[in-house]
């Protein structure tokens, strides 16, 4: 498709020299060279591998072609994505799925690919174009949305929701929910706990790499990447666009802010709030994501203060 035509159809004003081919839209981290890259932050622009960057950041001199939407960058990106959906570049996840029900009361969408030895228990729901590998166990009452890709030897516990619509609203009303164009991709030997929710990506895939274990009642937001051999304990919430690198441990009831990167081997202690990037192999705890030693020192000082002792 031609960039100028896409932007005009989306209700945006094309920049100069926009008579070029584009194949789609994605977040700046994952955009290919012929895709429109969506940049929400200044630091993202420099990492773009494409010449087409959609941003509302005030940049005037760059080698890249910059598109300045009239409204917010997210709302403009949604408008562009809907044009690609209309022309069949991406599936429309708002479409009603045509289900068939088997003897175990499992609801099946169309064109699914299920591997050898895989078990899907009663009252689960499998959307269209879902691919599930070999020897995977899907327990009862699990929802797997259309387009999801699941590897071999995966265990998904009762009531989990995989590839649910992203909780991402735009504009002036909460009714403007956008179902996303990304999928959920789950690697081999992954465990997903009871009633855990993993959201579909908005402009990129939500990815869970192999050997990762996720506990019960965990919420993983849209466009999240979780690396190999991670452990995420129950009741943790991970916001959208978060990157969790390999061998990270996140213990129970933690909250991870959007756009945060947690580097390899880091440990997030229980009930911590992570609001900034975490260095590799560090141990973090507390409401402000301090190092664990600093948090323990602060707690000790507070106890002495309460007792009336000198700090």
> What residues act catalytically?
222
Question: Which has the closest alpha carbon to 82: 39, 24, 164, 43?
Answer: 24
Count of helix runs (H) and strand runs (E) in the chain = 4, 32
Nearest C-alpha neighbor of 254 from the set 244, 229, 154? 244
Q: What is the DSSP string of 151-206?
A: -TT-EE-TT-EEEEPP--B-TTSTT-B---S--EEE-TT-EE-TT-EEEPPSSS-E
Q: How many Å apart are CA 266 and CA 138, to the nearest integer?
A: 30
Length of the chain equals: 311
Give the span between the Cα atoms of 150 and 172, in whole angstroms.
Answer: 36
Q: Taking every pair of C-alpha atoms in the chain, what is the biggest distance, in angstroms?
A: 72
> Sheet containing 273-274: which strands, arranged edge to edge?
100-101, 107-108, 125-126, 143-144, 161-164, 197-199, 219-220, 237-238, 255-256, 273-274
DSSP character for 147? Answer: T
d(CA 215, CA 256): 16
Closest CA to 284 of 303, 270, 298, 302: 270
């Amino acid at each position: 498709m031609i960039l100028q035509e896409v932007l005009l159809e989306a209700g945006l004003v094309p920049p100069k020299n926009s008579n070029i081919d584009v194949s789609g839209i994605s977040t700046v981290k994952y955009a290919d060279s012929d895709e429109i890259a969506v940049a929400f932050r200044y630091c993202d622009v420099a990492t773009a591998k494409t010449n087409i960057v959609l941003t509302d950041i005030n940049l005037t001199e760059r080698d890249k072609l910059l598109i300045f939407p009239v409204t917010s960058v997210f709302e403009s990106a949604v408008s562009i994505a809907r044009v690609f959906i209309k022309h069949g570049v991406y599936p429309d996840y708002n479409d009603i799925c045509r289900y068939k029900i088997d003897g175990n009361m499992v609801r099946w969408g169309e064109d699914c690919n299920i591997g050898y030895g895989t078990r899907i228990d009663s009252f689960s729901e499998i959307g269209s174009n879902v691919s599930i590998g070999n020897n995977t166990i899907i327990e009862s009452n699990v929802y797997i949305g259309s387009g999801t890709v699941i590897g071999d030897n995966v265990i998904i516990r009762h009531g989990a929701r995989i590839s649910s619509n992203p909780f991402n609203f735009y504009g002036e009303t909460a009714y403007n929910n956008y179902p996303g164009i990304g999928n959920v991709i789950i690697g081999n030997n992954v465990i997903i706990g009871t009633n855990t929710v993993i959201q579909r990506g908005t402009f990129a895939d939500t990815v869970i790499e192999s050997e990762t274990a996720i506990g019960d009642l965990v919420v993983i937001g849209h466009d999240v990447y979780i690396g190999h051999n991670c452990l995420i304990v129950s009741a943790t919430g991970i916001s959208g666009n978060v990157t969790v690198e390999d061998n990270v441990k996140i213990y129970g009831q933690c909250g991870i802010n959007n756009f945060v990167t947690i580097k390899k081997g880091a440990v997030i202690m229980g009930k911590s709030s992570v609001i900034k990037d975490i260095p590799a192999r560090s141990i973090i705890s507390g409401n402000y994501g301090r190092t664990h030693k600093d948090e323990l020192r602060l707690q000790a000082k507070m106890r002495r203060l309460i007792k009336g002792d000198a700090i």
